[in-house]
């Protein structure tokens, strides 16, 4: 019940295209859903996050879509750039539990020039 | 804001020796710090959670006597890998949370440990 399932494992997109990464969860107590971007040899960095009271959040080229009834959320990267090539992790948290994050398995995104 | 540093960034040690990794929150007081381990092309695996001044809470399967965690102040936590062996070679990442109006975790840049 604590798992977060992420797909696809890897994704190749052409420059300018849309990258879509999906995550699904079981624990309905989760109330905070962040996405992290990780470059090789570096720690993860927060990209964008959403709470279940909204269905969509957009920051620049990055959008989270959230479907509470389906227990799914996704990251959309518009106008993907080679610099976006990285590993992306979705995560979920029960905020009152002391910020323990449950991570998805990760998606390795490659944006070809 | 919310910068977390780790030191060293890379360390190579011989089998049987101990190595200490420091995690510092540079511009905020971290009430909670987390230590993760990450293998190549895998997700982050939580090892332990520590609160300042308290004993760390270890995840199931993590040897507390091997991975010693000390959260001595609101800006510093250390992970000591004792009697390291080659299978302890990994990427170790810490994160910190100040737990005020947000429980967001801020991650350090990671430490690459290689045990020869």
**Beta strands in chain B, from DSSP E residues, in sequence order:** 4-7, 10-13, 19-25, 32-38, 44-51, 57-58, 67-73, 76-81, 90-97, 106-107, 111-115
Q: What is the mean pLDDT of residues A20-28?
A: 96
Tokens of B96: 């910190």
Instruction: Answer whether residue A1 shows pLDDT above 80.
Output: no
All residues of chain B having their beta carbon less than 8 Å from the beta carbon of residue A108 are 41
Instruction: Answer whether residue A77 shows pLDDT above 60.
Output: yes
Instruction: Answer whether residue B9 shows pLDDT above 80.
Output: yes
pLDDT at A47: 94
Cβ count within 10 A of residue A34: 20
Residue B84 β-bridge partners: none
Contact B106 A49 (CB under 8 A): no
- For B16-28, how does the pLDDT look when each residue is reduced to its tens digit (9 = 90+)? 999 999 999 998 8
Instruction: Answer whether residue A92 shows pLDDT above 80.
Output: yes
Q: What is the mean pLDDT of residues B98-116?
A: 87
pLDDT at A97: 72
A45-50/A101-103 β-pairing: unpaired
A contact residues 61-100, partner B, Cβ 8 Å cutoff: 89, 93, 95, 98-100
Tokens of A44: 């993860």
Q: What is the mean pLDDT of residues B40-66?
A: 92
d(CA A35, CA A26) in angstroms, rounded, equals 17
Omega prior to A2 cis, within 30 of 0? no
All residues of chain A having their beta carbon less than 8 Å from the beta carbon of residue B52 are none
């Amino acid at each position: 019940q604590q798992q977060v399932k992420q797909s696809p494992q890897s994704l190749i997109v052409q420059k300018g295209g849309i990258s879509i990464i999906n995550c699904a969860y079981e624990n309905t107590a989760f109330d905070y859903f962040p996405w992290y971007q990780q470059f090789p040899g570096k720690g993860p960095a927060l990209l964008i996050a959403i709470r279940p009271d909204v269905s969509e959040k957009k920051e620049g080229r990055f959008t989270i879509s959230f479907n509470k009834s389906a227990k799914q959320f996704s990251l959309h990267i518009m106008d993907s750039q080679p610099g976006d090539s990285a590993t992306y992790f979705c995560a979920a948290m029960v905020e009152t539990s002391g910020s323990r994050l449950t991570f998805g398995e990760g998606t390795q995104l490659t944006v070809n020039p | 804001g919310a910068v977390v540093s780790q030191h060293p960034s890379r360390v190579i040690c011989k089998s049987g020796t101990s190595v200490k990794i420091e995690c510092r929150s540079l511009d905020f007081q971290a009430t909670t710090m987390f230590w993760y381990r990450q293998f190549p092309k895998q997700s982050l695996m939580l090892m332990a959670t520590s609160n300042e001044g308290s004993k760390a809470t270890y995840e199931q399967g993590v040897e507390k006597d091997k991975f010693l965690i000390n959260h001595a102040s609101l800006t510093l936590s250390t992970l000591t890998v004792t009697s390291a062996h080659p299978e302890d070679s990994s990427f170790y990442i810490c994160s910190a949370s100040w737990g005020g109006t947000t429980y967001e975790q801020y991650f350090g840049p990671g430490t690459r440990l290689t045990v020869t």
